[in-house]
Amino acid sequence: MQKVLVIDDEQMIRQLLQQALSRCNLEVETAPDAEGGMAKFDTGMYDLVITDVRMPGVDGHRVVHHIRRSRREQTPVIGLSGTPWLLQNGDFDDVLHKPFAISSLIEKVRHLTDAAGDN
């Protein structure tokens, strides 16, 4: 079973993503902030990370840079934001603008986790 880490400061978003992705037979862990998410990433093994970009304190750009500087730098990362201009020029493998359709999320997750499995 593939494992996904969801990082978002909004509890409702974390719960929604966890439910939707769990129904797709994915194991989902969540973190309420970037610091907690980076700590989980460092100690866990994830096939995909989904992170909000705009969070209090450390933001999603820092999360993706942390991942790209790690020994698991090839881990795919999806950036989420209600402010799409914050998603430009990032190291994200894909992006979703809030609000988004769950079907769009699932399509992107399947594409990236299938691609990760091919490596």
Q: What is the mean pLDDT of residues 25-47?
A: 98
Q: Please give the pLDDT value at position 85.
A: 76
d(CA 109, CA 89): 20
d(CA 40, CA 31): 8
Q: pLDDT band at 118, cuts 50/70/90?
A: low
**pTM exceeding the 0.85 threshold for the entire prediction:** yes
Q: Please give the pLDDT value at position 117.
A: 58
Q: Indicate the helix (H) or strand (E) that contains 23.
A: none
* pLDDT tens column, 71-113: 999 999 999 988 877 777 679 999 999 899 999 999 999 999 9
d(CA 20, CA 119): 25
User: Is the pLDDT reported for residue 7 higher than 60?
Assistant: yes
Nearest to 92 by CA among 118, 59, 114, 119: 59
User: Is the pLDDT reported for residue 56 higher than 90?
Assistant: yes
Pick the range with the lowest mean pLDDT from 19-33, 34-48, 53-67, 81-95: 81-95
